[in-house]
Amino acid sequence: FRDVVHGIVSEIEVMNKLQGDSHIVSYADHLIVEKKDGVGWDIIIRMELLTPLSKYFAKKAYTVQDIVQIGIDICQGLERCQKINLIHRDIKPSNIFVSDNGDYKLGDFGISRQIEKTTLGLSRKGTPLYMAPEVYLGRAYNSTVDTYSLAIVLYRYLNNSRLPFVKAIGRFTQ
């Protein structure tokens, strides 16, 4: 489990670098305590309390303006990511959250990765339905893959949960 703990610590380090951006889930602090029997760790991360996007929209019908605002807010968060050379690589509805005052925030940086001197050979991680073609095909990519994934999220909300580029099977109904 040591690798799992190191992965979580890496995510914590990323969250710490992104502190202060109003469109990225805020990180407060963390504590990692090795268990007394030497088997495993307790990992405690204190973050702001937010509502997942799906739960938020389950209670409130969304409008086109809401979807436009998601795009604006998450793009602002992605600008912050680009400033520290970070690619999120898994933008999807379940990684978007809403604050009490209605700000949309990007979270779950568990598979994000620092951009290295070359982008060749970067891993193919993410959710296939929202994944940019170059990531899916294992080709070189850059931070524009996050913009692509966000566009898929916005498209889906604006089109009754339909995804683009998916061939309809059978008769099309609305």
Residues recognised as catalytic: 90
DSSP string covering 105-124: EE---TT-EE--S--TT---
Do the Cβ atoms of 163 and 152 come closer than 8 Å? yes
Cβ neighbours of residue 143 under 8 Å, at least 6 residues apart? 78, 81, 82, 86, 87, 115
Angle (CA) 117 90 53, round 5°: 145
DSSP string covering 72-140: HHHHHHHHHHHHTTEE----SGGGEEE-TTS-EEE---TT-EE--S--TT----S-GGG--HHHHTT--
Pairing of strands 41-47, 27-34: antiparallel
